[in-house]
């Protein structure tokens, strides 16, 4: 653990929005856009392109700003032979289908003018068969000067199934399209570090790092952090690690990770039931329904697992491009989404909204969770869901205690959890009723002045009597009260 552990201050105050660029918005201004695109409103497919671009993201910043978004996380944008762009071909060029480097420049300038940060997805564990060094290896075999850029076991490589055996090189999940880079090679390390520096100099505000645990080399990530911070001292470095990430969160590698343990706990508490079939397809593997007591225990574990600067910088989410959408996980139960969102925006860590969740998109696992944003179909928008998200985000922005306050579970019993968030200037209580029936909650809190309390969010009868807060919550609802 480093003694001067620090995470970027702006992150703990941010609300993120994740954009899958191919599916968010077409601008109609990208030159030489290919013609073989899928219809925007057709069901998404594994390999098809919709043709969304970065100019399209910039065109809809009004929507994001109105929602209260202050930071964007973009899925990969570099030149690639896949709609998701995790098959990187050129780390130094924005994909021309997204508008090229000029489109990123336009988006960064437009976002920064509104006070919105932008982080990019860095896929540094593996590249693609179209990545020039690997293509050279395909063309020249053992004579390739790039042989040590990859983990080659023999020839022929079997990159396109020409060999009936497994590929003769290491690749991500044994997929021939994704050759694993050999970061033990000094030139590979230098190349990847220069990529990280280049785009920070270009103006991005940080990196979301794809499967960084598969580069099993703490020294590499320590140098990565040092090099990034030398360019931008406030660059946010967040890793995609699904389980306990303590090894990487000692203050010398990442600032945070995508906080899937909190996702699991929140969904397990909020859901009446989960779609086990869809859940089993992704990294969740399974989601257990949690009682109030078990949720409280899980929350305490996650809050206490890391130093406070890490906890407050964690990227909290209800779903992503790698999971079924939150609405699909809970089988379309609007009350479950509402309770989950209330917890997302009131717990420590930077909340992240996956594009379209705010309007009720409900696709299952990939490719269904990567559908096109229906900008031209307002009849498909869940306006109540949009209002809930907007109000919760505004609540978080308005109350510093929800961002940087202390966290205490004040009550956890019979389907009801109350989480207290306290700062020097504020004292708030978040109460969530998992049950179907009304709950009468009594929370002893010393020093409270008697009287009725008007909720800051939600509908409930709240009164303080003899140092005890009494709250009556309808079933499947939550409330935030100022103490």
- Residue 240 appears among annotated catalytic residues: yes
pLDDT tens over the chain, length 483 residues: 765 699 999 999 999 999 999 999 999 999 889 999 999 999 999 999 999 999 999 999 999 999 999 999 999 999 999 999 999 999 999 999 999 999 999 999 999 999 999 999 999 999 999 999 999 999 999 999 999 999 999 999 999 976 656 899 999 999 999 999 999 999 999 999 999 999 999 999 999 999 999 999 999 999 999 999 999 999 999 999 999 999 999 999 999 999 999 999 999 999 999 999 999 999 999 999 999 999 999 999 999 999 999 999 999 999 999 999 999 999 999 999 999 999 999 999 999 999 999 999 999 999 999 999 999 999 999 999 999 999 999 999 999 999 999 999 999 999 999 999 999 999 999 999 999 999 999 999 988 899 999 999 999 999 999 999 999 999 999 999 999
391: its two tokens: 């109000």
> Which three-class secondary structure string do you get for 358-389?
HHCCCCCCCCHHHCCCCCCCHHHCCHHHHHHH
CA distance 311 to 349: 6
pLDDT tens profile 241-280: 999 999 999 999 999 999 999 999 999 999 999 999 999 9
Q: Which residues contact 273 (CB under 8 A, 6 or more apart)?
A: 289, 330, 331, 333
| pTM, full prediction | 0.97
For a pLDDT cut of 70, what percent of the chain falls above it? 99
Identify the residue whose tokens are 């896949």.
Answer: 82
> Domains of the chain (ranges plus CATH)?
9-125+181-398 (3.20.20.80), 405-482 (2.60.40.1180)
- Residue 210 appears among annotated catalytic residues: yes
CA distance 42 to 287: 30
Helix (H) or strand (E) holding 257: strand 256-257
Q: Which of 210, 357, 362, 382 is catalytic?
A: 210
Helix (H) or strand (E) holding 94: strand 88-94
Q: Which of 59, 121, 240, 278 is catalytic?
A: 240
């Amino acid at each position: 653990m480093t003694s001067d552990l620090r995470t970027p201050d702006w992150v703990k105050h941010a609300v993120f929005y994740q954009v899958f660029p191919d599916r968010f918005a077409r601008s109609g201004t990208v030159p030489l856009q290919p013609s073989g695109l899928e219809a925007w409103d057709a069901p998404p497919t594994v390999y098809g392109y919709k043709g969304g671009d970065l100019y399209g993201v910039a065109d809809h910043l009004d929507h994001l700003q109105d929602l209260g978004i202050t930071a964007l996380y973009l899925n990969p944008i570099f030149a690639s032979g896949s709609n998701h762009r995790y098959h990187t071909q050129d780390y130094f060029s924005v994909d021309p289908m997204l508008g090229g480097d000029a489109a990123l420049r336009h988006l960064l300038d437009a976002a920064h003018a509104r006070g919105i940060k932008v982080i990019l997805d860095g896929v540094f564990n593996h590249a693609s068969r179209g990545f020039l060094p690997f293509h050279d290896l395909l063309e020249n075999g053992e004579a390739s000067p790039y042989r040590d850029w990859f983990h080659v076991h023999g020839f022929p490589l079997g990159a396109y199934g020409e060999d009936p055996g497994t590929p003769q090189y290491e690749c991500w999940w044994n997929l021939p399209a994704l050759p694993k880079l050999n970061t033990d090679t000094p030139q590979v390390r230098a190349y990847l570090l220069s990529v990280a520096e280049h785009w920070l100099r270009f103006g991005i505000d940080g990196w979301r790092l794809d499967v960084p645990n598969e580069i099993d080399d703490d020294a590499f990530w320590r140098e990565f952090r040092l090099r990034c911070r030398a360019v931008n001292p406030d660059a946010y470095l967040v890793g995609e690690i699904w389980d306990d990430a303590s090894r990487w969160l000692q203050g010398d590698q990442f600032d945070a990770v995508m906080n899937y343990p909190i996702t699991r706990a929140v969904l397990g508490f909020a859901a009446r039931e989960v779609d086990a079939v869809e859940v089993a397809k992704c990294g969740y593997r399974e989601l257990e329904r949690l009682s109030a007591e078990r949720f409280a225990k899980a929350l305490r574990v996650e809050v206490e697992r890391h130093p406070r600067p890490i906890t407050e910088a964690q990227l909290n989410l209800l779903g992503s491009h790698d999971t079924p959408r939150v609405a699909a996980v809970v089988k379309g139960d609007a009350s479950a989404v509402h309770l989950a969102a209330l917890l997302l925006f009131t717990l420590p860590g930077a909340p992240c909204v996956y594009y379209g969740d705010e309007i009720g998109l409900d696709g299952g696992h990939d490719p269904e969770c990567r559908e096109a944003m229906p900008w031209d179909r307002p009849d498909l928008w869940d306006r109540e869901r949009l209002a809930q998200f907007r109000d919760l985000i505004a609540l978080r922005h308005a109350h510093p205690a929800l961002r940087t306050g202390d966290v205490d579970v004040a009550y956890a019993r019979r389907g009801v959890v109350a989480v207290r968030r306290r700062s020097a200037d504020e004292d708030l209580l978040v109460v969530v009723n998992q049950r179907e029936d009304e709950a009468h909650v009594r929370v002893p809190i010393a020093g409270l002045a008697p009287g009725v309390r008007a909720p800051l969010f939600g509908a409930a009868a709240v009164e303080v009597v003899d140092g005890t807060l009494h709250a009556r919550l309808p079933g499947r609802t939550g409330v935030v009260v100022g103490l």
